[in-house]
Amino acid sequence: MTDLPIVYHSDYVAPLPQGHRFPMPKFRQLYELLLRNGVASVEQFQQPERPPRAWMELVHTAEYVQAYCDGTLDLKAQRRIGLPWSAALAQRTCVAVGGTVLTARLALRRMGLACNTAGGTHHAFPNYGSGFCIFNDLAIAARVLQSLGLAQKILIVDLDVHQGDGTAHIFQQDPHVFTFSMHCEVNFPGTKQHSDLDIPLPQGMEDEDYLKTLADNLPELLVDFRPDLVLYDAGVDPHLADRLGKLALTDTGLFRREMQVLGTCVAQGFPVACVIGGGYSDDLEALVYRHSLLHRAASDVYRQYKL
């Protein structure tokens, strides 16, 4: 493999019930945009398989996994997730977990960098889902890699605009997984968990202050923790046009963020597996472009460092 490996979930083409606002079509459109713009070729994409339930149960309770996969989760629990259950959604959700595990394994195999076209469901807790998140793919990937002996020390860099509360809770007593979250202070979730490093940001923060805050923390964190792998949640909801964001980054600011994170990690020899995280906009074309900035930056870094 000579090009950046990218994981694509073809099962995301199935629609949600009519009128639902969660932008599932963005996953297919992201794949098509990357091809159309020459960011990636068909040969770079790899499709994951549905993982065994035992992988989900490394993080989530067996009762919760069974209830969701079998369609017996009660309506109150479904409302907390924010997505109505369907067999198609359950299939896509499980395949998405496999996709993040595959992305992480590809990054380790190449000792460098790999990207997902989905993932980042950081609000899922061991026994319930929340905030459009059903199973916590970041946490599951970390546990699977540890159980397989592929990595032990894992750094989760979460730059979604919302705190990764589920991830923080899952690993709060685990010295081998470091959770780092930069998020808008006055945003979901209302009750924050304790990450290993939380940086709450003021509402309306713009590019330069955001990037300086990141630069003041990430390099030192890498040196101190020295992870075997970085799992990077590159949510684009800090964008000024995001309807759930409350920060004010531009497209340029997001691209600079991706270059900063990926360049800093790869330059120091730390493999990075990337997921796209959150993004919420009624302008689907603009949203998909913002998600593509991760893959554009990753392709540039991949070539620059000849990975």
Question: CB under 8 Å to 4, separation ≥6 — which residues?
Answer: 40, 44, 113, 114, 115, 295, 298, 299, 302, 307
Q: Which residues are catalytic?
A: 123
Residue 24 has a CB neighbour count (10 Å cut-off) of 17
What gap in Å lies between CA 138 and CA 206, rounded to an integer?
27
Cα dist from 138 to 74, 194, 256, 275, 281, whole Å: 25, 17, 23, 9, 23
Q: Report the side by side order of strands in the sheet with 272-275.
A: 45-46, 6-7, 113-116, 272-275, 229-233, 154-158, 177-184, 197-201
What gap in Å lies between CA 74 and CA 72, rounded to an integer?
6
Residues 232 and 274: beta-carbon distance below 8 Å: yes
Strand partners, 184: 201
Residues 261 and 293: beta-carbon distance below 8 Å: no
Please, what sign has the CA dihedral across residues 11, 164, 166, 170?
Answer: positive
The pair of structure tokens assigned to 4 is 């950046």
Please, what sign has the CA dihedral across residues 50, 56, 57, 63?
Answer: negative
Strand partners, 169: none
